[in-house]
Amino acid sequence: MKISALDYAVISQGVQAAAREMGVKLIRSAYSTILREARDGSAALLDAKGRTIAQAELIPMQLGTIDAIVQPCLELFPPETLQEGDFLINNHPYHGGQHLQDVFIFNPVFFEGKLIGFGASVAHHLDLGGGSAGLNPNASDVYQEGILIPPSKYNMDRDWNGGNFERLIASNIRVPTQTIGDFNAQFAANFMGGGRLKELCTKHGVDAVLETMDEMLNYTERRVRAAIEDLPDGVYTGEDCIDDAAFDGDDPVWIRAKVTVKGDSIDVDFEGTDPQVNCNINCPFASTQSVALSAVKVALTGSDVPFNSGLRRPITFRAPYGSILNPKPPAPVRARMIPAYRAYDAIMKALSKAAPEKVTAMGFDCTTIACLAHKDDNGFAVHIEPYGGGFGGSVDQDGCDAIDNQLSNCANTPVESLDTGYSFFRVKAYSMVMDSFGHGRHRGGAGFLRSYEILKDGATFAIYSDHHKYAPSGLFGGSDGTKGYCRVLRGGEEVIVGSKNLVNLKKGDIVEVFCGGGGGYGDPRERARSDIENDIAEGLLSPGEAARIYALPEAAE
């Protein structure tokens, strides 16, 4: 490397800071609750080849393959043909994208006429059309899920800000004011990142900046290879299953991972995974790649190793075409987080055999999407809440209670924000639940309940979730976590909604969504008595359960 260590430190920090700032500004200038409160969006700076150099640490699932999603755009519109004001866009699951709602936008950055990189951002959009508002659990093909934007090139001046492309999008979606506002937040974040990158070039010289960007990839690659090198060589396997395929069948759907560690590289092979299904739980290959990269990153390297395209170099992955992890068009993909998490757990189970102290027992590891919608004379109101559950216990500690799971990182939406923005429902309760975790030397994190009171007739509630039939697995003698549930309380009656469904609601209905807790790690008989007593005092463990699991006399209460 030619540049000095000091310059490298200053410039690389500058690039990281720019990416982080892009993320902050994407969220802070957004309009929809899913982006501004739940923070379901991500941002990154790419180099001129489309490789991720630095990212805002928001949502691992989205971040994992930003670099792969720009590639189909660059194949059609090569870097040398791009001009100031152009932007690239892609949400097509069968052309490198993930699910339709995650729209990836890339703005090229020019310095002194030369393309030096891209400001990239992705946001989960509240509604992109399709068979029902926000989420269509009944879709049997991708066309019922919303508008597809294939890898494309448009121009800001010509096609946005009142231009044809903006008008086309606005005409196909249910809440255009919020959604177009969120697109603008994406553009703003991209320009901001590009501006910062140009400032660095002005200050340090474009060559030093480009060299630093290359070196940032090498640095991450070196650290990841060193971490893989520490693992014993071998072939490790793991498997996990999805509850069912909703309307396409009641049987569990299996996902199998074979992880091969050899020297300083790793191969993840999903051979043996079940075929794709006709409901929306298919995982586009870009999403599958993101799972494999995130799982290796989270399990093997410390938080201080930055995530960028350098991480890809020691990792290879494959999934059979036509399987649920690499589906053929036009399979619907909206709930791709469901198979993604089972793939994640299958990899974790495999890695638990190679690095038992680095992994955790399985967390609830499932994205639960609750979508509330209502239509009246004023138009549509749509609200989406993404939720996690409890983490798994580990060799060192209990799993974290009630938090978003590893592949995602969405915040809850403040109840006060919902009270301001929505008049057809109100959050009634949001609380942790007693006895909602797996036991072990270290217990899993607690699960939680969110309940909504419906205030107007004609509202709908759609959900996708999992682990309603099979609980998350414990590890090394720890017991399994808890299952989730979703139900509607109507008068004295209970209606089970299930994990993947859409229901019509009446005024006065109470909708309850429970996200379960994580699995325990190690033998419960080894759990410290003080930890058990503290859980009882804190109201997280009932004395009865403590007596049953830990053989603690009930008098402890």
Partner 1 sequence: MRVGVEVGGTFTDLVAVGNGGITITKVPSTPHSPDIGALNGIKAAGLSLESVTDLAHGSTVATNAVLERKGAKVAFVTTEGFRDILFLQRHDRRSIYDIKYRKPEPVMARRDCFEASERVLADGSIATPLDEKAVREVLIPKLKEGNYGAVAVCLLNGYANPVHENRLVEMIEAALPDLLVTRSSEIVRIFREYERASTTSLSAYVQPVIDRYLGRFEKSLAEADFKGHLTVMQSNGGRLPAVAMRRSAITALFSGPAAGVVGAARQVEKSNFKNLITFDMGGTSTDVCLVNDGQPALTMETEIGGLPVMTPVLDIVTVGGGGGSIAWIDDGGMLRVGPQSAGADPGPACYGHGGELPTVTDAQVVRGAVRPEAFLGGRMKIDVEAARNAFTGIAEHFGISIEEAAESVVKLVNSNIVRAIQLVSTERGRDPRDYVLVPFGGGGPLHAASIADELGVSTICIPPNAGVISAFGLLASDFVKYASRTQQMPMDAGPKDGAAILEELKAELVEEFQKMGLSGDRLEFTYTAEMRFVGQAFELGVELPGDRLNALTVDDFRDGFEQAHYRMFYHGIGSNRPVEIVSFRVGATYPVEEVPVMHSTGDVARTPADHPVFEGGDWITCQHIASEAVKNAGTIDIPTIIEGSTATTFIPVGWRAELDHANNLIMKRI
Contact set for partner 1, span 528-557 (CB under 8 A): 537-540
Name which of residues 395 to 454 contact partner 1 (CB under 8 A). Answer: 396-397, 400-404, 406, 409-412, 414-417, 419-420, 426-432, 448, 451
Q: Nearer to partner 1 by C-beta: 192 or 505?
A: 192
81 is a site residue for partner 1 (CB under 8 A): no
Residue 76, classified by CB atoms within 10 Å of its CB into exposed (0-12), middle (13-18) or buried (19+), is middle
Quick note: the x/- pattern for partner 1 over 382-401, rule CB under 8 A, is: -----xx--x--x-xx--xx
The least CB distance from residue 549 to partner 1, in Å, is 20
Among 92, 153, 196, 258, binds partner 1 (CB under 8 A): 196
Among 294, 436, 460, 479, binds partner 1 (CB under 8 A): 294
The least CB distance from residue 546 to partner 1, in Å, is 15
| 42 bridge partner residues | 122
Specify the stretch interacting with partner 1 by CB under 8 A; choose among 3-11, 108-116, 372-380, 472-480.
3-11
The least CB distance from residue 353 to partner 1, in Å, is 16
Tokens of 525: 């008989």
Query: What residue type is assigned to position 162 of the chain?
Result: G
Report the C-alpha gap between 329 and 331 in whole angstroms.
5
Name which of residues 337 to 376 contact partner 1 (CB under 8 A). Answer: 358-360
Report the C-alpha gap between 329 and 326 in whole angstroms.
10
Name which of residues 252 to 281 contact partner 1 (CB under 8 A). Answer: none
| 3 state SS of 511 | strand
Report the C-alpha gap between 400 and 550 in whole angstroms.
20
44 is a site residue for partner 1 (CB under 8 A): no
Q: Nearer to partner 1 by C-beta: 253 or 311?
A: 311
| 115 bridge partner residues | 110
The least CB distance from residue 135 to partner 1, in Å, is 19
6 is a site residue for partner 1 (CB under 8 A): yes
Report the C-alpha gap between 493 and 496 in whole angstroms.
10
Give Cβ neighbours of residue 277 (< 8 Å, ≥ 6 apart): 245, 248, 249, 253, 324, 331
Specify the stretch interacting with partner 1 by CB under 8 A; choose among 18-26, 79-87, 483-491, 544-552.
18-26
Q: Nearer to partner 1 by C-beta: 350 or 540?
A: 540
Q: Is the dihedral of CA 190, 43, 136, 151 positive or negative?
A: positive
- Alpha-carbon distances, residue 368 vs 31, 177, 426, 468, 553 (angstroms): 22, 26, 19, 11, 37
Q: How many helices (H) and strands (E) does the chain have?
A: 13, 19
The least CB distance from residue 505 to partner 1, in Å, is 19
Name which of residues 125 to 184 contact partner 1 (CB under 8 A). Answer: 177-178, 181, 184
Q: Is the dihedral of CA 48, 20, 195, 188 positive or negative?
A: positive
